[in-house]
Amino acid sequence: MRVEPDLQFIKFLKGAGGDTLKNCYQCATCSVKCPLSTDTKPFPRKEMIWAQWGMKDRLVADADVMLCHQCGDCTAYCPRGAKPGDVLGAIRAYAYTHYGFPQGLAKLASNGNNLPILIAIPALLILVMWFISGGMHLPDAETLHEVGFGHFFGHWDFKYLTKNVFFIDIMMLPAFAFGAFAAFRGVSAMWKGMVANANVNTQFKPSLKQFVEQFLVPSVKEILEHRRFNECGTNADRVSGHRPLVFAFIGLFIVTNYALISKDIVGIFMPELHGPIGQLNPIKILANVSAIALIFGIGTLWANRARTEEENNTTATFYDWFLIGEIMAVGVTGLVAELSRLIGVPVLAYLFYYMHLVSVFMLFIYMPYTKLAHMAYRTFAMAFEKYRESNFVKKEEA
Ligand code: SF4
Ligand code: SF4
């Protein structure tokens, strides 16, 4: 086999936490120690040699790279300090940019030097919207308490759709749709690569219903139950941060959809649904509990990441810390905005609300290129693993 190493790829891996790559001497201890590795399909030893050889195309289409959940067991036992867990993390970071759509934005979001631009884009957009809306004035504490952030973008006499809802919708809905579409494009490209890489003949294709029922839903279930995380030995603490985070995202997803349906759709016919939700309303309680779970979960992962970096002498990467900082920003700005509203400090409340909108917008549009993309990529890699073991493929092989 003729190997043509991609030197740029190797350089990227070294800068993204895989600087120990060359230490590997192929002893395979990592594949033995990895709780997810199997006898028939061991990893990450083979990924280490592929990475040393710069085999970019093979690695970005390798389902095992996406299945790894960076528990660190392999890194802890590697006799050469090659840190295979971190190398796989660096390959994933590369893959999210490689599959990223559009490429310009994907490249922008993958480099820490661009952080000021990444923040400036949504910060300016929301500032311009604030200016256009005519809402650029602070309410008094009484109005803030009564209408919440409902007048942030100003208000008009049209009672069926509040101006605030309108302005948030025209910014956040396209941002979310864009993020979801970009993730879909990336995951589709990865799927095609995995099919080609694993030599899977697609003669017997599952229908969409079969794909969802037999491969996608069981994968999502497995993720929610944290089955693979629980097999982690060295860094078992990660599950105590990851679990509340996942449930916080689910809670906030429910709350957001409730607000979208009640205020933006039903609210057109029942204007009384507009305005702040009472503190004892179950949806409000769910929102507050989810916000606390979000901050607790990401705080635990923050501490855990800092500790393992110190203990393993691992390089801190933008890929790892951007997501941690971003989720923390969403949780803290949302909570401080709400508390400032409740204690009646309009300047603080509006400032943190603005920062909250900026951080949520960033989460939506940069999701397909950051570590959060693993939600989509890993889910489909797990679905692919199940598909590869299924009768659809085996039928063809028989
Ligand atoms: S990464 Fe470490 S444990 Fe794995 S094969 Fe290389 S030297 Fe051995
Ligand atoms: S980090 Fe954990 S899951 Fe990933 S390869 Fe190493 S042992 Fe396996």
Q: Which ligand is nearest to the CA of 238?
A: 2
Longest dimension (CA), the chain: 74
Residue with tokens 């002893």: 27
**74 within ligand 2 shell (Cβ under 6 A):** yes
Neighbours of 68 (CB within 10 A): 26
Of the spans 10-14, 164-168, 221-225, 358-362, which averages the highest pLDDT? 358-362
Share of the chain above pLDDT 70, in %: 95
pLDDT value, residue 145: 85
Find the Cα–Cα–Cα–Cα dihedral 388, 389, 394, 396, rounded to 10°: -10
Q: Rounded to an integer, what distance in angstroms lies between the CA atom of residue 314 and that of residue 307?
A: 10
- Nearest by Cα to 17 from 66, 55, 72: 72
pTM (two decimals): 0.86
Model pLDDT for residues 221-245, shown as the tens digit of each residue: 988 887 766 666 666 667 788 889 9
Q: Rounded to an integer, what distance in angstroms lies between the CA atom of residue 280 and that of residue 283?
A: 8
Residue 396 has pLDDT above 60, yes or no: no
Mean pLDDT of 16-20: 83
Residue 142 has pLDDT above 50, yes or no: yes
Distance from Cα 70 to the centre of ligand 2, integer Å: 5
Distance from Cα 47 to the centre of ligand 1, integer Å: 10
Q: List the domain boundaries for the chain.
A: 7-98, 103-397
The size of the chain, in residues, is: 398
Distance from Cα 373 to the centre of ligand 1, integer Å: 27
**30 within ligand 1 shell (Cβ under 6 A):** yes
